[in-house]
Amino acid sequence: MNSTDNPFDPTPSLAPPAMRAPVAPLDLSIPHRLHVVGIGGPGMSAIGIALAEMGHDVSGSDLREHPVLERVRAARAAVYVGHDRSYVHGVDAVTASTAIPAHNIELDEARNTGVTVLRRSGMLASICARAKSLAVAGTHGKTTTTSMLMLILAQAQLRPSFIVGGDVTDVGTGAHWSGGEWLVVEADESDGTHLELPLYGSIITNIEVDHLDHYGTFDAVVDSFDTYLGQIVGPKVLNADDPITRRLAGVHGAVTFGLSDDADVQAVDVLATNGAFTFSVERWHDGGRVRLGEISLPMRGVYNVRNALAATTMALEIGVGFADIAEALAKFGGVARRFDVRGVHGGVTFVDDYAHLPTEIDSVLTGARDSGDGWERIIAVFQPNRFNRISEIWRDYADAFGQADLVVLTDIYASGTTPIPGITGKLIVNAVTEANPGKRVVWLPQRSDLVNYVAREARSGDVVISMGCGDIASFPSEVLDVCRG
């Protein structure tokens, strides 16, 4: 157990000496002319908005028009639809996500003309160096937790800047540069970005199997987070309910949060009613517990209690008062594509969620079952994502749909990956049916069949939860259009 002189002392626990922190590749303290390739993507649009609001001269390009581009334009960045070599002429640096191929003509022109080319991680690192940066890392829960922490700091009048992986409902954007002391940022581990960021403090929500195409083994994933924690000079806040983060917390002297009795900051008296949670927060102090107060969280799912507790713990570590924390969380409006209720028709509730890993799916479905909404049936619609991911972990989906009354599965959304012979969504169908012989599972690889089937099957009292990180995001709207005729 970690302890402090008082339960509100923001001084971080003693930890092993930190490794040398990453160095920002670009000095953003001076004005630059910058270009963002793929600026319509959620991650790159956030980068573009932040850079423009910092005062840099920003342009960006994308293959097609996206709704988010209006927000980028509103930040006074120039946006081009389509790619052209001339767009990088005269710029100081060009940035692009790893999703943009190296042979992109703008990246090629930048290299040929000697313009600095940074991947998103390098530009994000340069932004992080301009503030006291708090990151949220982990396999899942990052976007919601980052949003919660940002809104808590805003409630406390700390004027945080933020870069989040999704639109925060309360502010209608995923990025903002305030010029204040603090930056709250989502640290993505999928391509090693988290290791490149110069950070003051960090939350790690959990560590589970994913991104083996980048790391090779799960041990390498864990090692990356071990290295990451060694670079953090300020507070480290880790999940006591996750076995991997729990172990790393002990190694790095981190403060822990969770529902576990030995967590440094614990949620107790957790109660779900009418799609919301109430719980009390206790903090370990001098060999005993100090009760800080109660939080009302207008969200479903125990996993969101943990997300809120993670943000609470970090806020306490940097000296935010509990009253501000509770007030911010009580009015938290959520994040796009996180149990996003998209409509109700004929007594059927249609929900969209980003969940795509087995534990995420189980958490979302369990949250719906235990939400207190009184839904009679849960229909789970899932679109697997990435051929390489499914080839590695398709068996892990066997018990992910335990809380669903009906499971409807479709084919894999490629997300830029190359098809692999024999790897289809049918593998997950097989895994679920073999592990749960009585489970009703339907396989519909064609989108039109999927939409029409759910429109016919759903009845009053059902909740239809479509999940995945591909184009399944539009599924609720498609079904509602059919239902409304």
DSSP code per residue over 280-344: EEEEEETTEEEEEEEEEE---SHHHHHHHHHHHHHHHHTT--HHHHHHHHHT---BTTSSEEEEE
- Exposure on the CB side of residue 61, measured as CA atoms within 13 A: 19
The pLDDT of residue 276: 87
Polymer length of the chain: 485
Decide if 46 contacts 260 (C-beta within 8 A): no
The pLDDT of residue 215: 81
What mean pLDDT is reported for the chain? 90
Decide if 133 contacts 197 (C-beta within 8 A): yes
Of 77 and 372, more confident: 77
Burial of 47 (0-12, 13-18, 19+ CB in 10 A): buried
pLDDT at position 15 over 80: no
341 φ, ψ (degrees, to nearest 5): -70, 115
CA–CA dist 386, 408 (Å, integer): 18
Decide if 177 contacts 193 (C-beta within 8 A): no
373 φ, ψ (degrees, to nearest 5): -75, -20
Considering the chain, what percentage of its residues have pLDDT values greater than 70?
93
pLDDT at position 2 over 60: no
Residue with tokens 């999704």: 166
Decide if 285 contacts 4 (C-beta within 8 A): yes
pLDDT in tens, 367-383: 889 887 889 999 999 99
Decide if 38 contacts 134 (C-beta within 8 A): no
Beta bridge partners of 170: none
The pLDDT of residue 171: 53
For CATH 3.40.50.720, the residue range(s) in the chain are: 33-118
Q: Is 10 helix (H, G, I), strand (E, B) or coil?
A: coil
DSSP code per residue over 347-402: TEEEEEE---SHHHHHHHHHHHHTSSS--SEEEEEE--B-HHHHHHHGGGGTTTTT
The pLDDT of residue 406: 97
- Exposure on the CB side of residue 4, measured as CA atoms within 13 A: 21
Residue with tokens 């970005």: 193
Residue with tokens 């960090």: 202
User: Strands 173-176 and 161-168, how do they pair?
Assistant: antiparallel
Q: How far is CA 334 from CA 147, 246, 353, in A?
A: 8, 27, 12
Architecture of domain 340-484: Alpha-Beta Complex (3.90)
Is the domain spanning 33-118 CATH 3.20.20.70? The answer is no
pLDDT in tens, 260-314: 999 999 999 999 888 889 999 999 888 888 999 999 999 888 989 999 999 999 9
pLDDT at position 256 over 90: yes
CATH code that applies to domain 131-330? 3.40.1190.10
CA–CA dist 164, 60 (Å, integer): 19
The pLDDT of residue 167: 58
For CATH 3.40.1190.10, the residue range(s) in the chain are: 131-330
pLDDT in tens, 163-181: 986 655 555 678 999 999 9
Collect all residues with Cβ–Cβ distance below 8 Å to 384 and sequence separation of at least 6: 356, 390, 394, 409, 410, 411, 412, 413, 425, 428, 468
Residues with a known catalytic role: 142-143, 186
The pLDDT of residue 6: 34
pLDDT at position 441 over 70: yes
